[in-house]
Structure 1
Amino acid sequence: MGWLILNCRLIASCLFLFLWGNSANSAQRNDVNIVIAMDCSWSVNSSEYKLQIAGIAAAFSDPEILLAIRNGNFGQIGVTLTQWSTRQSQIISVPWTQIASPSDGISFASKVIRARRQTLEGGTSISGALIHAKRLLENEPVRAERQIVDVISDGENNNGERIESVRDLLIIQGITINGLAIENEIHWLHYYLRNRVIGGFGSFVEKA
């Protein structure tokens, strides 16, 4: 249950931080585009996977979050869900989806619940997850005022590019990186994410 609440908080904090505004709505832009990058490396068991899924789905079914989306400058966001493990293993679980109404949010949540785990083994490449997220943000068909990566991890980067170099590349491009630390094995992981992974305007770490 703790993960479910924290996943809701991770997404909700992004939305409340970035969405409230007074501009007229427009169908041509999103308030924010969000990549949710879910850890599916070998150390994440089936129960942990299901809890991540449940938390994300609950967030996009939450009336307060859906209200925040509707009250944004443009009244809509773009969101996609990925799962990752090694640098070579990056899977899109739910493709880019526009959320502009409660029904859109419920539909996205339903797709999240049905998402099948496809990355079943391998190391922990947070840097690979961020590189993949960057590419997805660059190719989102509807541009956004802000871009966010919410990365969930249960371990340190141990595969792929140097994490600090990738983090800095995203920050330079104006992308905010937030983190959720699953601390079942590494009880100081939130410090690692805070010091070496997250960055950009309004970035933060939550822990489970």
Structure 2
Amino acid sequence: MRFSLLICFFCWFGTNAILPTRAVADDVDLHLVLAVDVSSSINYDEFGLQIRGYANAFRSAEVQQAIQSGPHKKIAVLMTQWAGLQEQKVVIGWTALSTANDAEQFAEKIDYLSRSFPFGGTAIAPALEHAWQQFATSPHKSARRVIDLSGDGRISIGPSLGPIRETIVANSVVINGLAILNEVPDLDQYYRKNLIGGRGAFVQVADDLNDFPMAIQKKLAREIRGIWYGV
């Protein structure tokens, strides 16, 4: 009898010991990587406009309401800065946002960001690959993963976008773009053809850096909600 009870105990313990290692249910609605262009075409005044634009977007009612719109009412966000071939850096690690206070604290982190690279080319493919690699570092689970890349120019250095874009999209990650048109008037068309991919992928346009704050607010709200109405 004791032997039977002992066997039952070890069977129960072994089964329950395994459970925590199994895939857990989604705990956030979205993983979002914000990849911010800090290449040479972005001067320091324009860098400041970008940073304030992202910070103000997370302070906006539109974005805060979008965070609350999913079943878990929570998202995970990470921010990178990128420029040339070896110039990609995580500047804010994975952060879970659920409440307005969470979003405000994330905005404060953005407020105090410095520029990671003073100059560099526009290496979009390495920036995308670096952004994609960050999903593997998250402690969270979600059904949706999105890379949100902002920039003001075409590739000036490094490989073409096709291979890495195909790999990322094949792994069920959506790539969206925010095209700042101050340097390249048709950059939005370039992004549509070469950058974005995945179901519901889209390009948001900012006519210039002064237009950036409203553009990023609209873009964040749309991709957080997961609303699809074409590109």
Name the SS of the counterpart of 1:92 in structure 2.
strand
* Equivalent in 144, 147, 150 of residue 145 of structure 2: 147
User: Aligned partners of 2:186 and 2:54: how far apart in 1?
Assistant: 23
Residue 213 (structure 2) pairs with residue 203 (structure 1): no
Name the SS of the counterpart of 2:34 in structure 1.
strand
Shift in Å, 1:180: 0.8
Instruction: Report the aligned-residue RMSD.
Output: 1.5
* Equivalent in 117, 120, 136 of residue 119 of structure 1: 117
Percent of aligned pairs sharing the same letter: 37
User: Aligned partners of 1:192 and 1:180: how far apart in 2?
Assistant: 11
Using structure 2 for the length normalisation, give the TM-score: 0.76
Name the SS of the counterpart of 2:29 in structure 1.
strand
What amino acid is the match of 2:196?
I
User: Aligned partners of 1:160 and 1:59: how far apart in 2?
Assistant: 31
User: Aligned partners of 2:72 and 2:137: how far apart in 1?
Assistant: 20
Name the SS of the counterpart of 1:94 in structure 2.
strand
Match of 2:38 in 1: 40
| Residues 26, 142 of structure 2: 8 Å contact kept | no
Which is richer in helix?
2
Match of 1:7 in 2: none
Name the SS of the counterpart of 1:87 in structure 2.
coil
Match of 1:136 in 2: 134
User: Aligned partners of 2:85 and 2:201: how far apart in 1?
Assistant: 23
Match of 2:95 in 1: 97
What amino acid is the match of 2:178?
L
Shift in Å, 1:71: 2.8
Match of 1:170 in 2: 168
Match of 2:221 in 1: none
User: Aligned partners of 1:131 and 1:144: how far apart in 2?
Assistant: 20
Mean Cα deviation higher: 65-74 or 84-93: 65-74
Q: Which has the larger radius of gyration?
A: 2
Shift in Å, 1:151: 0.3
| Residues 91, 119 of structure 1: 8 Å contact kept | no
Mean Cα deviation higher: 113-122 or 61-70: 61-70
User: Aligned partners of 1:39 and 1:184: how far apart in 2?
Assistant: 14
Q: Which runs of 4+ in 1 moved over 4 A?
A: none
Shift in Å, 1:27: 8.8
Shift in Å, 1:57: 0.8
User: Aligned partners of 1:144 and 1:133: how far apart in 2?
Assistant: 16
Match of 1:3 in 2: none
Give structure 2 stretches of 5+ with no counterpart.
1-23, 207-231
* Equivalent in 56, 73, 76 of residue 75 of structure 1: 73
Using structure 1 for the length normalisation, give the TM-score: 0.84
| Residues 32, 76 of structure 2: 8 Å contact kept | yes
**Deviations, residues 170-194 of structure 1 (Å, cap 9, x unaligned):** 1000111111111112111110000
Match of 1:12 in 2: none
